[in-house]
């Protein structure tokens, strides 16, 4: 399972690709950059020059044919916070992150890479992590794997950085026995680094031979501290430049607003990306507001409250969803019907032509098309022997008829050999705003059902006799019944002879069928 072929990480890292433009938001806080995916070209790292916060993740991967010299002059001291995760994969020549990100303090882990906030994977030249100012991983674990030269792993106390340290996966790196790690001062037998206990071993903690790991005084508890061991304000996260001052935080435990770390966003501001407060004007350019938070779109069950509003409100019933697919010419299978799932307004024409009768057809169609309330064009049901009823379109209320068939037809039902019912007109309302109806060659659909639809939909008077012919609709169904009187009843030992009055149809072409009901005594 250690072979790359069987490792899902290998394939995900190798083939996943995200294209992201850098977005700069100049504010009191300084420069915020969006997600950065840096690969193939070491010079692409220069995109990080002005980033103080990366709002998203930072991935550096698949950079080959580079040496340590190529990274010598690359430094990004401004970068302090990554809101999602940091990932490094197969970057040749990079020996330490100490100079690259000397001031990276917080990885928030808002979104994770397979539940991991820090990934260092197959970095063949990396000798030390060196993130000497990393003080906080708010969510997620650490995965450091298959880095053949990587040392100074046993000298880091991850419990000081994040609570989920027990989920860390650190394997396949250089053996500590081969590394011979020595924290600053160890050579002179004068350890400069604070000692902590890991697995019953008290030892100094450091990131490299030059940099100790920061350990805050016990009196600070879970609070961060300054470089001089002074306790930070409770709203600070990671570190601060002055004690007990919510304007001196390196990062905020909750939210940042106008140079200050706050527990919650002030009135008339909104949470954004789980770490800062912005105004409605700042949110309105690209986002919407839901429950006091500026988000990309309204969540399921909510919609914008008016065309000019950016606030999400609960939908009354299903939220409107307008759908259109110019390539979808007809619903011919249950799979194509699934393309309409969740749609409430179908912009265009709805043509149904399902020839086969798959198992459980009606519930399947209802699941896909049961929310459609409006069709802007025409509706055509043709050549669908699998259909017995149209009740699967249980929410259909309006057919606008903006695009009509030749002859000005907006509702066209032809050649459906088993169609017996349209809708239950005692419970279903449907309006056809423009256009006529046409029914032909539906042998089991009684004309009375069609005439009832005329009344409900408001189309009565639009159709001619040719449009709804009783000759080829319901001609194989018992659409009209009359009770006949018996004239005589003669019983013998093995037969019963019944005689009733002759029934004369108003049209000699009608197909007449007699049904006799009886009960054994």
Domain harbouring 198, CATH code? 3.80.20.20
Residue 502 lies in a domain: no
Where does a domain end: 437, 457, 477?
Answer: 457
Same-domain check for residues 91 and 165 = yes
Residue-range definition of the domain harbouring residue 140:
4-204
- Domain membership flag for residue 469: no
Q: Residues 277, 333: one domain? A: no
350 plus 286 within the same structural domain: no
102 shares a domain with 15: yes
Per residue in 51-80, pLDDT tens?
999 999 999 999 999 999 999 999 999 999
Q: Which residues pair with 437 in a beta bridge?
A: 411
Shared domain check, 126 and 265: no
User: Is 181 found in the same domain as 52?
Assistant: yes
**Separation of alpha carbons 145 and 7, rounded Å:** 12
- The reply to whether 194 and 299 lie within a common domain is no
24 pLDDT higher than 50? no
**Which one is predicted more confidently, 24 or 376?**
376
Quick one: pLDDT at residue 12? 54
Last residue of a domain, one of 457, 473, 493: 457
Sign of the dihedral through C-alpha 202, 208, 211, 216:
negative
> Left if phi > 0, otherwise alpha if psi is -120 to 50, otherwise beta: which for 474?
left
Q: Are residues 38 and 149 in the same domain?
A: yes
**Looking at the domain assignment, is residue 228 inside a domain?**
no
Q: Out of 17-31, 265-279, 322-336, 405-419, which region has the weakest mean confidence (pLDDT)?
A: 17-31
Q: Is residue 262 included in any domain, yes or no?
A: yes
C-alpha 378/C-alpha 411 separation (Å) is 6
- Same-domain pairing of 51 and 184: yes
- Using alpha carbons, select from 354, 343, 417, 341 the residue that is nearest to residue 380: 354
Residue pair 62/37 in contact (Cβ under 8 Å)? The answer is: no
CATH number, domain with residue 302: 2.10.220.10
Q: Are residues 299 and 328 in the same domain?
A: no
**Threshold 0.85, pTM exceeds:** no
* Within a domain: 221: no
Among 60-74, 187-201, 411-425, 458-472, the minimum mean pLDDT is found in: 187-201
Q: Is residue 145 part of a domain?
A: yes
CA distances from 230 to 202, 233, 244, 248, 411 (A): 24, 10, 8, 12, 78
Residue 76 near residue 101 (C-beta atoms within 8 A): yes
In this predicted structure, what is the pLDDT of residue 3? 47
Asked if 473 and 445 touch (Cβ cutoff 8 Å), the reply is yes
Which DSSP letter does residue 248 get?
Answer: S
The answer to whether residue 491 is domain-embedded is no
Q: How confident is the model at residue 28 (pLDDT cuts 50, 70, 90)?
A: very low
30 vs 352, which has greater pLDDT? 352
Structural domain count, the chain: 3
Does 427 lie in the same domain as 393? yes
Q: Are strands 53-63 and 81-82 parallel, antiparallel or unpaired?
A: parallel
Q: Which of 457, 486, 511 is the last residue of a domain?
A: 457
In a domain, 172, yes or no: yes
Tens digits of per-residue pLDDT, 223-259?
A: 999 999 999 999 999 999 999 999 999 999 999 999 9
Least confident of 184-198, 334-348, 455-469: 184-198
Matching residue, tokens 């006949």: 484
Whether residues 287 and 360 share a domain: the answer is no
Query: Cα separation of 75 and 55, whole Å?
Result: 19
The Cα–Cα gap between 83 and 205 comes to 26
Longest dimension (CA), the chain: 127
């Amino acid at each position: 399972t250690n072979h790359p072929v069987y490792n899902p990480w290998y394939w995900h890292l190798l083939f996943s690709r995200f294209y992201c433009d850098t977005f700069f938001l100049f504010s009191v806080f300084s420069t915020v950059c969006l997600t950065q995916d840096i690969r193939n070209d070491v010079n692409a790292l220069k995109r990080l020059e002005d980033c103080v916060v990366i709002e998203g993740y930072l991935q550096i991967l698949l950079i080959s044919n580079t040496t340590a010299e190529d990274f010598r002059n690359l430094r990004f001291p401004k970068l302090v916070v990554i809101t999602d995760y940091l990932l490094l994969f197969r970057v040749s020549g990079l020996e330490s992150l100490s100079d690259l990100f000397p001031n990276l303090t917080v990885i928030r882990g808002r979104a994770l890479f397979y539940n991991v906030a820090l990934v260092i994977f197959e970095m063949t030249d990396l000798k030390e992590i060196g993130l000497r100012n990393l003080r906080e991983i708010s969510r997620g674990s650490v995965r450091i794997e298959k880095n053949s030269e990587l040392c100074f792993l046993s000298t880091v106390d991850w419990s000081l950085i994040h609570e989920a340290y027990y989920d860390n996966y650190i394997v396949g790196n250089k053996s500590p026995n081969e590394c011979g790690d020595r924290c600053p001062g160890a050579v002179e037998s004068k350890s400069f680094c604070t000692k902590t206990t890991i697995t019953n071993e008290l030892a100094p903690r450091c990131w490299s031979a030059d940099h100790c790991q920061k350990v805050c005084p016990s009196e600070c508890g879970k609070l961060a501290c300054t470089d001089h061991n002074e306790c930070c304000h409770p709203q600070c996260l990671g570190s601060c430049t002055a004690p007990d001052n919510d304007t001196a935080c390196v990062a905020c435990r909750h939210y940042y607003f106008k140079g200050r770390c706050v527990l919650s966003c002030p009135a008339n501001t909104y949470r954004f990306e789980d770490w800062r407060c912005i105004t409605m004007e700042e949110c309105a350019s690209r986002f919407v507001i839901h429950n006091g938070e500026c988000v990309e779109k309204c969540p399921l069950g909510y919609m914008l409250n008016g065309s000019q509003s950016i606030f999400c409100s609960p939908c009354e019933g299903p939220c409107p969803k307008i759908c259109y697919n110019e390539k979808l010419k007809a619903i011919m299978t249950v799979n194509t019907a699934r393309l309409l799932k969740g749609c409430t307004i179908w912009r265009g024409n709805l043509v149904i032509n399902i020839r086969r009768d798959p198992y459980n057809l009606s519930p399947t169609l209802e699941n896909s098309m049961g929310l459609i309330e409006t069709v802007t064009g025409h509706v055509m049901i043709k050549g669908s022997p699998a259909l017995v009823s149209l009740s699967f379109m249980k929410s259909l209320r309006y057919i606008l008829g903006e695009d009509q068939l030749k002859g000005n037809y907006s509702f066209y039902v032809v050649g459906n050999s088993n169609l017996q019912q349209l809708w239950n007109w005692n419970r279903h309302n449907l309006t056809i705003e423009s256009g006529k109806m046409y029914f032909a060659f539906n042998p089991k659909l009684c004309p009375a059902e069609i005439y009832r639809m005329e009344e409900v939909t408001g189309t009565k008077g639009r159709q001619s006799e040719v449009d709804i012919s009783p000759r080829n609709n319901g001609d194989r169904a018992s659409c009209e019944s009359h009770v006949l009187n018996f004239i005589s009843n003669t019983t013998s030992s093995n037969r019963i002879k019944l005689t009733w009055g002759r029934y004369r149809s108003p049209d000699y072409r009608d197909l007449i069928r007699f049904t006799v009901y009886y009960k054994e005594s």
